[in-house]
């Protein structure tokens, strides 16, 4: 075996699907013609341009069906960051009257009612693509419980007739915890009926029926590379009746809601990936959930001082002389295995795992490689000793039994090595 062969073998254990997924074959095949020959600008008037626009609109129709929207409600953009920014600034940016710039160090928290006109709220665990715009507009954060689930009582207390915009992600990108979006909508219907509800559904598409679960939201963000599509393309659902100010002005594309030449190949591939994901979701979820459970249960059983986030221990069953708890992971998507190891640093742990061919992450992949304290774990109440040792192992449709075998072999040894060095 050559050195290159060894490197190739080591690169097989990819457990960072929450950051990006491998492109599925259907997406690759769908986009190929738009590089090989059908390259015309869809905004043009000639036949080749009309063919390109027809492909865009066919993709729009398919995505609308899969996502529970009308075709005209879909705004194509460059990905989830733009979609989230467009949702916040496009709806809330023109109405917020709080001080621009927000609070130092993050979105303001608190549970007292705020009577500031046109206030903006988001959960404390949102992706930075939501948190940063909300902070810029002087918005406030709603807390979560120890499982990472939004505190609905606090949301009700903070919401009133002056609340204009609320953002609550459908699935958290670090913990994998599913948020109760229908109950959020019920709270707002009672306390802030004029508020526009946005959800970042980026991590949900591979695992959940977003047409149903994101249905209560008037704005919904997606990114293709999280479910087998290419990077650099996404969408924002804007329900009929929601007023949206564009962030990108230009050629009037997307009904004047987002200017710029359409990424035809990306849009077509996103639709193909969404269709394949939806068709295979039930089988994928059942298979991957078993792999995730095996991985999490093994690591918790073999590595001391490790905590799994977003789960509850629902009972204790006597097995001979030992007691074993039953873990309830029903709040999490099937692909999420998020653990905190006491006494280790995430950066050092990830380095050792990479040397052994296991690729994972510590938290969000959008921090330019910086290992900063997780605002998600802080909101959930984790202390810094555990927070600094977080490990996000995210499985996907391509994860295999062999991947889990290697992770189970490598991770305990890496943790033990770091703890011995620190002793």
408 is known as an active-site residue: no
Q: CA angle at residue 120 from 119 to 125, to 5 degrees? A: 145
Give the single-character DSSP code of 260.
S
Helix 264-302 to helix 47-67 angle (10° resolution) is 30
Which strands sit side by side in the sheet containing 119-123, from one edge to the other? 74-77, 234-238, 219-223, 196-200, 163-167, 119-123, 140-142
The pair of structure tokens assigned to 256 is 């004047």
CA pair distance 114, 133, nearest whole angstrom: 19
Beta-sheet pairing, 358-359 with 13-14: parallel
The β-bridge partners of 120 are 165
Task: Please name the residue ranges forming H helices in 79-159.
Answer: 80-87, 128-136, 152-158
Cα–Cα distances in angstroms (integers) from residue 388 to residues 309, 340, 348, in the given order? 14, 8, 10
Question: Residue 312, class by beta-carbon neighbours within 10 Å (0-12 exposed, 13-18 middle, 19+ buried)?
Answer: middle
Work out the widest C-alpha separation in the chain, in whole angstroms.
Answer: 78
Give exposure, 124-149, as e/b (b: 16+ Cβ within 10 Å): bbbbebbbbbbbbbbbbbbbbeeebb
CA pair distance 184, 167, nearest whole angstrom: 10
Residue whose entry in the numeric block shows the structure tokens 């002005």: 249
CA pair distance 378, 5, nearest whole angstrom: 42
The pair of structure tokens assigned to 210 is 């977003």
Active site residues: 366
């Amino acid at each position: 075996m050559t050195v290159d062969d060894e490197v190739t073998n080591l690169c097989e254990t990819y457990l960072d699907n929450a950051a990006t997924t491998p492109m599925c074959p259907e997406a690759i095949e769908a986009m190929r013609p738009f590089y090989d020959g059908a390259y015309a600008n869809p905004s043009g008037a000639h036949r080749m341009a009309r063919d390109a626009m027809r492909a865009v609109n066919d993709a729009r129709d398919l995505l609308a069906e899969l996502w529970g929207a009308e075709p005209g409600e879909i705004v194509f953009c460059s990905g989830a960051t733009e979609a989230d920014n467009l949702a916040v600034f496009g709806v809330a940016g023109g109405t917020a009257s709080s001080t621009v710039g927000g609070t130092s160090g993050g979105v303001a928290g608190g549970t007292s009612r705020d009577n500031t006109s046109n206030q903006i709220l988001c959960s404390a665990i949102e992706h930075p693509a939501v948190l940063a715009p909300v902070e810029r507009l002087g918005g406030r954060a709603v807390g979560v419980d120890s499982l990472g689930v939004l505190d609905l009582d606090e949301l009700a207390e903070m919401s009133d007739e002056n609340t204009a915009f609320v953002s609550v992600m459908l699935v958290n990108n670090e913990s994998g915890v599913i948020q109760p979006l229908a109950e959020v909508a019920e709270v707002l219907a009672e306390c802030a009926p004029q508020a526009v509800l946005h959800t970042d559904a980026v991590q949900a598409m591979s695992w959940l029926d977003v047409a149903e679960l994101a249905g209560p939201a008037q704005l919904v963000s997606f990114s293709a590379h999280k479910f087998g599509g290419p990077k650099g393309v996404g969408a924002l659902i804007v329900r009929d009746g929601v007023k949206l100010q564009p962030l990108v002005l230009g050629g009037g594309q997307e009904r004047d809601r987002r200017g710029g030449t359409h990424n035809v190949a990306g849009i077509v591939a996103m639709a193909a990936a969404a269709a394949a994901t939806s068709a295979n979701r039930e089988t994928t979820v059942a298979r991957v959930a078993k792999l995730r459970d095996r991985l999490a249960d093994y690591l918790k059983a073999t590595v001391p001082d490790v905590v799994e986030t977003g789960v509850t221990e629902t009972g204790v069953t006597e097995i001979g002389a030992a007691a074993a708890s039953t873990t309830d992971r029903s709040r999490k998507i099937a692909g999420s295995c998020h653990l905190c190891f006491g006494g280790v640093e995430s950066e050092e742990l990830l380095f050792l795992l990479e040397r052994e061919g296991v690729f994972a992450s510590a938290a969000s992949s959008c921090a330019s490689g910086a290992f900063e304290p997780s605002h998600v774990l802080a909101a959930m109440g984790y202390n810094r000793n555990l927070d600094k040792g977080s490990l996000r192992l995210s499985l996907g449709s391509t994860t295999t039994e062999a991947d889990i075998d290697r992770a189970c072999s490598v991770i305990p040894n890496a943790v033990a090595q770091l703890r011995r060095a620190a002793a």
